[in-house]
Structure 1
Amino acid sequence: MSGFDWPGLMRAGMRGLGLKPAEFWGLTPAELRLLLGENTGSAPMGRTRLDELMAAFPDISGKGSE
């Protein structure tokens, strides 16, 4: 077993990105990762961090806001 989810990668590349088969197979793994957005931006926020932010910046209910 190769460890790669080839069907999933092919769906992401061809359906998701609209690549033609030759374009998909012509990519290096690094190029495919870049196109799929892997390792870009920040990690998803977990519940602990959300709770910290909610405590630091609570919603303030005031006149006219609900």
Structure 2
Amino acid sequence: MNGFPWSEVMAFGLGVMRLPPGAFWAMTPRELAAAHDGVTGRKGAAALARYDLDALMALHPDGERE
């Protein structure tokens, strides 16, 4: 897994939305995601169903190393 996509997020918030830096850095990730959805017309990914989460947890249990 790569790190958080800071370049893309900052390009969207500061470039596309033209937020002042103070407003951008004061936003929560949820607020920024909602703004992104509003600008792009897309809705964020739905939460996992419990059985999907259970299946992922069974495949990748905590504390084990490969």
Q: TM-score, normalised by structure 2?
A: 0.53
After TM superposition, the structure 1 = structure 2 runs for residues 14-25 of structure 1, keeping only pairs within 5 Å, are 14-25=14-25
**What is the aligned-residue identity percentage?**
35
The CA distance in 1 between the partners of 2:35 and 2:2, in whole Å, is 22
**Cα RMSD (Å):** 2.1
Provide, for residues 5-29 of structure 1, a one-character-per-residue CA deviation record: whole Å limited to 9, x for no partner: 0011000001100101111000000
Amino acid at match of 1:7: S
Unaligned runs of 5+ in 2: 45-66
Aligned residues: 40
- Which one has more relative contact order, counting CA pairs under 8 Å at least 6 apart? 1
Structure holding more helix per residue: 2
Unaligned runs of 5+ in 1: 41-66
Q: TM-score, normalised by structure 1?
A: 0.53
- Per the alignment, residue 13 of structure 2 pairs with 13
- Per the alignment, residue 39 of structure 1 pairs with 43
Aligned structure 1 segments of 4 or more residues deviating by more than 2 angstroms: none
Cα separation, partners in 2 of 1:2 and 1:24, compared to 1, 3 Å:
farther
